[in-house]
Amino acid sequence: MPVRPSRRLRSLRKVLLGVTGLVGFLLVWQLIPALGLISPEYLPYVTDVAVRLVDELRDLAFWRRLGLTMTAWAIGLTVATLAAVVLGTIVGLVPFLRRATHTTVEFLRPIPSVALIPLAVLMFGIQMQSALVIIVFAAFWQVFVQVIYGVADVDAVARDTARSFGLTRRERLSHLVLPTALPYLMTGLRLAAAVALILAITAEMVIGNLGLGRMIELSRSAGDAVGMYALVVVTGVLGLLVNLVFRLIERRSLGWHQSVRGEEVS
Amino acid sequence: MTTHTRPIALGPRGRLAWRRIVSSLLHALGLPFLLLGAWGLWSTFSANRFFPSPLTILGALADTWIGPAFVEDVLPSLYRLAIGIIVSTAVGIAAGTVIGLFRWLRELLEPLLEFFRAIPPPVLIPIGMLLLGITDTMKVVVIVSGAIWPILLNTIEGVRATDSVMTETATSFQITWWERLWFLVLPAASPRIMAGVRQGLSVALILMVISEMFGSSSGLGYRIAYFQRNYLIAEMWSGILLLGLVGIFLATVFGLVERRVLRWYHGIREVERA
């Protein structure tokens, strides 16, 4: 076996390989229309898409649409998280409630939230509220289920100890339940953030409220393939950013935790 | 078994068992019935016609979907969904295993795959429509290209994280490559793979619905959108209910498969927890 390369060398190799992969992909993308495998009408050149991307980034209208999408995302995520934390904590702490709500939760959770799009449109029309219904419904379950698991996961010995030391309900909540449930909550939050973004853009595509999703759909129906691919790339970058930020928050808030055990639950 | 071998001693214990069954039934069905009852009462007294009573919806469910609509709309949807799930699972696991086994391949592709995973799957539908037109192939391709990423990435992660002691043991016992793959790597990765498949399933269902809501003339998603546009409220609700049932069916089947595949794993976890 050869001598192990140092850690820095290894991470350099990793970055280099990763960049090679990306460049290779872009090259293949450029070659497919160039060789005529797919007409540029359907799969435009990478270079054209990149130019359009830069144009969009300089356009105020683009940023406004992006702002609308992210507003719906943020409101939906906040509402869903708050509701899920409150309800999840109550249900998780009371065994009776946990048993009584089990079937209802297991029935409602698998319903694909996009199935509610027609209902939301009937109720609110082509507005952000319709999108919010769907975002909240989808994001809520991600957090809710994790909070219930987390709250119920309190170590039995620790709980009995706290009780015998006469900790009040509030003290037990902040010193015992919260630290136990936090890793679960963070996992739920990260999943919910990703799901909320997916549904914010989906809702705009299907319902037609203003935002990035609607722009994608409009450029498709207008036959503007270059613009469509540019926007798809934008949504991908958004997804990456959301993932990255929430992973960071997760790591930050769990710095004290010996293991990031929430990772396994996802 | 015990009920047959000890009929006499069963008296009090039998009653206790009965009571337990009744209580768990009450727990399981109490809240759903309470909610449905409240909904029914509310819908009869309120003038809001967007929320018909549960009985109306149930009636619409039977009237709308039993008959030709089942063959024309439901079966094609489920067929596309099934093909999409099977293909994305098979390709995801196969490709994920290969990528996970070779480190250079993993490092080469990882940033790219992470980016593809981050793209919200429904934006693939406009691309699919552009490249393939509004066809069944497009819908299946869209389902696969959305559902495959969580399966692929989780498989890579699972294969990569195979216990090094076990790998070295397998090497020193000179177990062949195929045996190692089949008896060590895949079982070790299976908890992660199953977590990926679970995520993939819900993405696949979403994509099935949305791809039909866009340009399409059949399928569950199309029907529901059609009912909504024509203000057929009860029918629309019945469609939502049917989609919910499909979701629950998927979750149940997945739960059964997962329990079967991960029996050993849950066993170990139980022991560790006790």
Q: Residue A241's closest CA among A209, A193, A181, A188?
A: A193
**Is residue A5 in some structural domain?**
no
Q: Do A228 and B31 count as a contact with CB atoms less than 8 A apart?
A: no
Cα–Cα distances in Å, from B130 out to A40, B80, B135?
Answer: 11, 19, 11
Residue in B191, B210, B243 closest to A202 by CB: B210
Chain B positions touching A206 (Cβ under 8 A) are 122, 210, 213-214
- pLDDT of B273 reads 64
Q: Which of A205, A233, A235 to mutate to test the interface with B (most CBs of B within 10 A)?
A: A205
d(Cα B226, Cα A143) in Å, to the nearest integer? 32
- ipTM tops 0.90: no
CA distance B111 to chain A (A): 6
Residues A99-147 have pLDDT tens digits of 888 888 888 888 888 888 888 988 888 888 999 999 999 999 999 999 9
CATH number where A129 lies: 1.10.3720.10
Which residue has better confidence, B264 or B227? B227
Non-local (6+) Cβ contacts of A54 within 8 A are none
CA B145 to chain centre: 16
Residue in A99, A115, A231 closest to B243 by CB: A115
The number of distinct structural domains making up chain A is 1
Is the per-residue pLDDT at B5 higher than 80? Answer: no
Q: How many CB atoms lie within 10 A of CB B134?
A: 13
Helix boundaries (H) for B72-219: 75-101, 103-118, 124-132, 136-160, 164-172, 177-180, 186-213
Chain A positions touching B251 (Cβ under 8 A) are 106, 109-110
Residue in A107, A237, A239 closest to B248 by CB: A107
Is the per-residue pLDDT at B38 higher than 90? Answer: no
**Is residue A133 in some structural domain?**
yes
CA distance B181 to chain A (A): 23
**Is residue A68 in some structural domain?**
yes
- pLDDT of B11 reads 58
User: Residue B235 in contact with residue B60, Cβ under 8 Å?
Assistant: yes
Residues B57-104 have pLDDT tens digits of 888 888 888 878 788 888 989 999 999 999 999 999 999 999 988 888
Non-local (6+) Cβ contacts of A235 within 8 A are A201, A212, A216, B119, B120, B123
**Is residue A259 in some structural domain?**
yes
Cα–Cα distances in Å, from A183 out to A108, B73, B273?
Answer: 24, 43, 18
- pLDDT of A262 reads 44
Angle between helix A46-57 and A225-253 (nearest 10): 70
Q: Do B126 and A121 count as a contact with CB atoms less than 8 A apart?
A: no
* Structural domain boundaries enclosing A98: 44-265
**Is residue A39 in some structural domain?**
no
Chain A positions touching B28 (Cβ under 8 A) are 102-103
B37 touches chain A (CB under 8 A): no
Work out the average pLDDT over B133-155: 91
Question: What's the mean pLDDT when you consider all of chain B?
Answer: 84
Which 210-229 residues of chain B touch chain A by CB within 8 A? 210, 213-214, 221, 224-225, 227-228
Q: Do A119 and B112 count as a contact with CB atoms less than 8 A apart?
A: no
Residue in A13, A217, A235 closest to B119 by CB: A235
Q: Do B111 and A240 count as a contact with CB atoms less than 8 A apart?
A: no
Is the per-residue pLDDT at A1 higher than 50? Answer: no
